[in-house]
Amino acid sequence: MSKILLFIIIPFFLFAFNTKYWHTNIDVSCSQILHKKAFDICYNCKNKIPNLVVYTLSGNLVNQNNFKRLSTFRPDYNLPKKCRAYTKDYSKTGFDRGHLANNASFDYDRAIQKETFLLSNIAPQKPQLNRRLWAKIERFARLQAVKYKQIEVITGVCGSIGYIKNNVNIPKWWYKIIYIPTKNKYISFLAPNTNIGMSKAKIKQFLVDKKEIERVCGVGF
């Protein structure tokens, strides 16, 4: 088999994604794995968004410095040009630039915070989901980190409801899996990418077993 053919096949294999931020391998398809300062990204070149992002959150770092939120998103030049999303792709689309590794979890370090604003860490997210329900889920994760000292987090997207500019995929689902090592406990959320019902939604409505995320998204944890 030629090297060219191998290049075509490999990005679509489901394989064990081994990351230091998660206690087991993750079975997931990645076009490219990006190792950032405090999180790893499993990136989907075809969709121009991440499939998932993995990180560890230490409670003693939560609310340590609280650097002011940045306002500038940037392309990730560690990706091939054909795989990159750009800020203009999201303009006037009706979708927010939704973080997978969120700013507030890493605002203790300016360099790490800047990496959360790379578009390799971003996917189109409906505004009411992003600013309401998902913000609550992210805050819940930080509270768990403070309570239990350290947690492991996977944030991912899957499915499609269409595309914005530059063929950037709009995911159908957003999910977050929190693992608490001291309790050997998982807390998982799965939410549709919609504005409907999100302004007053409670996070408990979107609690699921992680096996449901595996079933819906075709990922193995």
pLDDT band at 67 (very low <50, low <70, confident <90, very high): confident
Q: Could you state, in order of their start, the residue ranges of all structural domains in the chain?
A: 3-217
In the prediction, which pLDDT does 213 show?
98
Query: Which CATH number does 3-217 carry?
Result: 3.40.570.10
Tell me the pLDDT tens digit for each residue of 74-95: 999 999 999 999 999 999 999 9
pLDDT higher than 80, residue 52: yes
Indicate the pTM of the whole model. Answer: 0.92
Angstrom distance (rounded) from CA 221 to CA 197: 29
What is the residue-wise DSSP string for 154-207? EEEEE--S-B-GGG-B--SEEEEEEEETTTTEEEEEEEES-STT-TT--GGGGE
Question: Which tops the pLDDT comparison, 215 or 13?
Answer: 215
In the prediction, which pLDDT does 100 show?
98
In the prediction, which pLDDT does 160 show?
98
